[in-house]
């Protein structure tokens, strides 16, 4: 494991109290682990902003498969991006609604473009892109 570096930081008391209350509610057992996670999240955000290298995203969409041609349109779209799409999981939520999680790898621009296309497809009821990382920037 990498060496641990300890450092002092000056933070207003009220800010620390509010932070501690929030991380306790989230289940963190100590402040360090919460700060490490926030730092990692900040680095992943930077990875997406830089546009350099490969990132990973998951696109979650919910749609009604009874909407005419929608399933075909979504499948054709995904075939068009087969180089970047790692996998797709489909769940039949009920008689009408389907949920799909599409895992996409590429530059942040590519991943966002694929997510935008899927989410904006007519008939998709809800969609969300979660921007994460291949892990390379978080050694
Ligand atoms: Ni389905």
Residue 99 in contact with residue 93, Cβ under 8 Å?
Answer: yes
User: Residues whose CB is under 5 A from ligand 1 (ion)?
Assistant: 92, 98
Dump pLDDT digits (tens) for 60-118: 999 999 999 999 999 999 999 999 999 999 999 999 999 999 999 999 999 999 999 99
Strands 55-64 and 124-133: antiparallel
Task: Give, rounded to a whole angstrom, the gap between the first and last alpha carbons of the chain.
Answer: 10
Distances (CA, A) of 122 to 18, 75, 81, 99, 131: 42, 14, 18, 15, 23
38: CA distance to ligand 1 center in Å?
36
What topology does CATH give the domain 55-133? Alpha-Beta Plaits (3.30.70)
pLDDT value at residue 1: 54
123: CA distance to ligand 1 center in Å?
14
Q: How far is CA 72 from the centre of its chain?
A: 25
How is the chain split into domains, by residue range? 13-50, 55-133
């Amino acid at each position: 494991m990498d060496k641990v570096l300890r450092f002092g930081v000056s933070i207003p008391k009220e800010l620390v109290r509010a932070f501690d209350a929030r991380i306790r509610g989230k289940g963190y057992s100590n402040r360090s682990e919460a700060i490490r996670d926030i730092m990692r999240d900040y680095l992943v955000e930077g990875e997406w902003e830089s546009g350099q290298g490969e990132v990973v995203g998951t696109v979650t969409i919910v749609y009604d498969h009874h909407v005419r041609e929608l399933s075909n349109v979504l499948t054709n779209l995904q075939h068009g991006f087969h180089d970047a799409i790692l996998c797709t999981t489909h769940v039949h939520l009920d008689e009408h609604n389907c949920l799909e999680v599409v895992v996409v790898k590429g530059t942040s621009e590519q991943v966002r473009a694929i997510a935008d296309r899927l989410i904006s497809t007519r008939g998709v009821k809800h969609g969300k892109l979660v921007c994460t990382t291949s892990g390379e920037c978080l050694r």
